[in-house]
Amino acid sequence: MSSLVECFSIIRDPRQFTAGGKMRTQSLRQFANRQIKMDRQGKFQYRKHRAYVIHKMIDDLFVIRQVPPSWQALKPEHIYKLVQYWKKRHINPVTIMRYMTIIRRFLQMSDCQIDKIDNQSLDLTRPKPKKRRNKGISPDMWQSMDNPYARIIMAFQVEFGLTFQEAIRIKSYLHVKQHGLWITRDIAFNSSDRCIPFRTEKQKAALQYFDWLTKHHDNLIKLKPYEELRLIWRTALAQYRLSSTKSWRYLYAKQMYACLLPEYGNYKTCLMIRDEMGIKSRNTLWQYLKA
């Protein structure tokens, strides 16, 4: 009876599993190392990452006591429990999916075909992206701003596509022409001349307000110091919970695109807007239109 109890206690001894698990782990690792050395596909960093993932898989199978005697003996249940362990460790589902891409490729190269270890079977899905809170504004918002300086700065950005720096330096007698705004290189953000034609009544209203504010003869930075203008701008936008560092000139691009597209088509419309805003990159314009 005592010998039977002793035998039973030996079988239940966790150290026996640990010893056997280490031997199995070593066997899996040796086989994996040979396969990894033979797989020369991809750059060095990618090959290094593949090796890391396979070694992590072996180590974590040992941690959860699911080490198979060989790679050929690996079952779907081992993979399921491994994935569950990773989830409990709060590993990002997208990261786990990338791990599984490498693992499935490794198993296929090692002639270890295992069914039902696709992402759907493992209940792995990409998390839905959080909806961005719309921090945009209406193109007409400038007309309701209380401070006259903030109002005209916003109007120049929205109705003419100017930057903040251009808006505070433009002069009525010099830059306002009969058919449009002439932005000279000395105030342009990219040091290049450009012309912005008058197309809308809101543009004319903005210029009339600008003339009234500056008395037809100077720019904003001559009426107020730069730091005071920045403070006025920040305070005005804070009332709407908007960033004072963001440029709102993208609204000009969106308005003009909708206005010009029916007449000129996409290609010519984009060229015209880029010329008027001083944009050289098509990607920049695309970002403005998608904002």
Query: Per the domain annotation, does 130 fall within a domain?
Result: no
Residues 45 and 59: their CA atoms lie apart, in Å, by 21
Please give the DSSP secondary-structure letter assigned to residue 196. E
225 and 156 in a common domain: yes
Domain boundary among 94, 109, 124: 109
Query: Per the domain annotation, does 121 fall within a domain?
Result: no
147 and 93 in a common domain: no
103 and 152 in a common domain: no
Residues 21 and 23: their CA atoms lie apart, in Å, by 5
Query: Per the domain annotation, does 94 fall within a domain?
Result: yes
Q: Which amino acid is at 115?
A: D
Whether 219 and 257 have beta carbons less than 8 Å apart is answered as: no
CB atoms within 10 A of CB 283: 8
- pTM of the predicted protein model: 0.56
Domain boundary among 109, 127, 154: 109
164 and 104 in a common domain: no
Q: How many helices (H) and strands (E) does the chain have?
A: 13, 2
For strand 194-197 and strand 180-183, is the pairing parallel, antiparallel, or unpaired? antiparallel
240 and 151 in a common domain: yes
279 and 172 in a common domain: yes
Query: Per the domain annotation, does 216 fall within a domain?
Result: yes
Residues 112 and 133: their CA atoms lie apart, in Å, by 47
148 and 264 in a common domain: yes
Residue 53: half-sphere exposure toward Cβ, Cα within 13 Å: 21
60-87 burial: b if 16+ Cβ within 10 Å, else e: bbbeeebbbeebeebeeebbbbbbeebe
Per residue of the chain (291 residues), give pLDDT as tens.
444 333 333 334 444 446 666 888 899 999 999 998 998 888 899 999 999 999 999 999 999 999 999 999 999 999 999 999 999 999 999 999 999 999 999 999 988 889 899 999 999 998 877 765 555 678 888 999 999 999 999 999 999 999 999 999 999 888 999 899 999 999 999 999 999 999 999 999 999 999 999 987 789 999 999 999 999 999 999 998 898 888 899 999 999 999 999 999 999 999 999 999 999 999 999 999 998
Q: Which amino acid is at 226?
A: Y
Query: Per the domain annotation, does 101 fall within a domain?
Result: yes
Whether 248 and 154 have beta carbons less than 8 Å apart is answered as: yes
Whether 155 and 244 have beta carbons less than 8 Å apart is answered as: no
> Which residue in the block uniquely carries the two structure tokens 């009339």?
208
Domain boundary among 66, 87, 109: 109
Residue range(s) defining the domain that contains residue 225 = 141-290
Query: Per the domain annotation, does 83 fall within a domain?
Result: yes
Q: Which amino acid is at 167?
A: A
Secondary-structure percent of the chain, ordered helix, strand, coil, rounded to 5: 65, 5, 35
Q: Which structure tokens are listed for 93? A: 């589902």
Q: Residue 128: what pLDDT?
A: 79
Q: Residue 135: what pLDDT?
A: 56
Q: The domain that contains 268 carries what CATH number?
A: 1.10.443.10
Q: Which amino acid is at 250?
A: Y
Question: What is the number of structural domains in the chain?
Answer: 2
Dihedrals phi, psi of 54, to nearest 5 degrees: -65, -40
Helix (H) or strand (E) holding 194: strand 194-197
Residues 192 and 161: their CA atoms lie apart, in Å, by 15
